[in-house]
Amino acid sequence: MIDQDLLERTIAFHGHFCPGLLIGYRAAVIALRELGVKRAVDEELVAIAETDACGVDAVQFLTGCTIGKGNLILRDWGKQVFSFARRSDGRMVRVALRHGATFREEDQSLSDVERRQRARDRMQTMSDEDLYDVRWVEAPLPGPARLFASVRCSQCGEGVMEARAHLRDGQPVCPECYGEVYTRRG
């Protein structure tokens, strides 16, 4: 049922094998199948993750929706919910982990570590239906990534995306020098 080779490569990308990774792994497999698409080379696929936890790495690795390409949107809502859309026609599928799906009464007495272990084992054999609520939804898609001009910060001299620069005395200043992030050393 699970492509062990693909799973191994996903684990190698993430660094360890945890239940969270499997949540994203199986959600991504479902989405690619439902949408009838392969891993996105460019931005033809868009993913929205409602968590910033481990599963996001599986989503990035399997679907090609990544932070860097701008076709992975992180909504830090603390929910194990992943939505995926095709740009060609806007079709979007939402894959939501069912609350408590991987937990069993007998786990009650176990330690956290053992409980996670059990969840991980179960998640490899449970059916898609038992694990997730999968439905087609409609939601506006973010626009494709845009290329912004870079300007020179008048304080540090480093380049900064024009859209991120501030103006101080009419001169462009990067967020760092503007004091938005932290105070620069020296």
Stretch that binds Zn ion, among 14-22, 27-35, 112-120, 137-145 (CB under 5 A): 14-22
Nearer to Zn ion, 57 or 93 (CB): 57
Instruction: Write down the H helix ranges in 36-139.
Output: 55-63, 112-123, 128-131
**Binding test (CB under 5 A) with Zn ion, winner from 156, 161, 167, 181:** 156
174 binds Zn ion (CB under 5 A): yes
Pairing state of beta strands 72-74 and 81-86? unpaired
Q: What CA–CA distance (Å, rounded) separates 159 from 150?
A: 6
**Binding test (CB under 5 A) with Zn ion, winner from 7, 11, 18, 93:** 18
Nearer to Zn ion, 13 or 77 (CB): 13
Please report how the helices 112-123 and 19-35 are oriented relative to each other, as an axis angle in degrees rounded to 10: 20
How wide is the angle at C-alpha 94 spanned by C-alphas 77 and 57, nearest 5°? Answer: 60
Cβ 148 to Zn ion, closest distance in Å?
16
Q: Which candidate, 45, 54, 47, places its Cα nearest to that of 22?
A: 54
What are the backbone angles phi and psi of residue 20, rounded to the nearest 5°?
A: -60, -40
Stretch that binds Zn ion, among 48-56, 72-80, 117-125, 131-139 (CB under 5 A): 48-56
Structure tokens at 109: 């007495």
150 binds Zn ion (CB under 5 A): no
Cβ 53 to Zn ion, closest distance in Å?
7
Q: What CA–CA distance (Å, rounded) separates 131 from 102?
A: 7
Stretch that binds Zn ion, among 24-32, 109-117, 128-136, 174-182 (CB under 5 A): 174-182
11 binds Zn ion (CB under 5 A): no
- Using an 8 Å Cβ cutoff, are 55 and 27 in contact? yes
Total residues interacting with Zn ion, rule: CB under 5 A: 9
Please report how the helices 19-35 and 55-63 are oriented relative to each other, as an axis angle in degrees rounded to 10: 30
Stretch that binds Zn ion, among 13-21, 40-48, 67-75, 142-150 (CB under 5 A): 13-21
- Which residues here bind Zn ion, judged by CB under 5 A? 18, 20-21, 54, 153, 155-156, 174, 177
